[in-house]
Amino acid sequence: MTSRIIPFPSLRLELQQVPTEARIAGVAPLDTPVEFMRYCYACDSDQLFIADRSCLTGLVGRCKCGDERIVPFTRTNSAPGWEELT
């Protein structure tokens, strides 16, 4: 059986896909790094990612193998505040 290497976009390509207004805001360092489990394409398994930077679309995390990815935010604030609905 031969192993097939699937190319995945690099962090540079992921940042190029971020909307223009988010790129203008740039990437800011986090005061406290965030650690979380995430699937790493390079390692082909769940690995501990450490995010030390953020942008408007998510966190920039790095696996122990050195693979960097943008991890999109999964929770966002809705347009109307919950106070308006009560």
pLDDT digits (tens, 9 = 90+) for 52-74: 988 888 898 899 888 888 888 87
Per the model's pLDDT, the better-predicted residue between 10 and 67 turns out to be 67
Let me know if 7 is exposed, middle or buried by CB neighbors in 10 A (0-12, 13-18, 19+): exposed
**Rounded distance, CA 72 to CA 74, Å?**
6
List the Cα angle 18/69/58 in 5-degree steps.
50
State whether residue 30 is helix, strand or coil. strand
- Listed by start position, the domains of the chain span 38-71
- Percent of the chain at pLDDT exceeding 90: 14
pLDDT score recorded for residue 81: 62
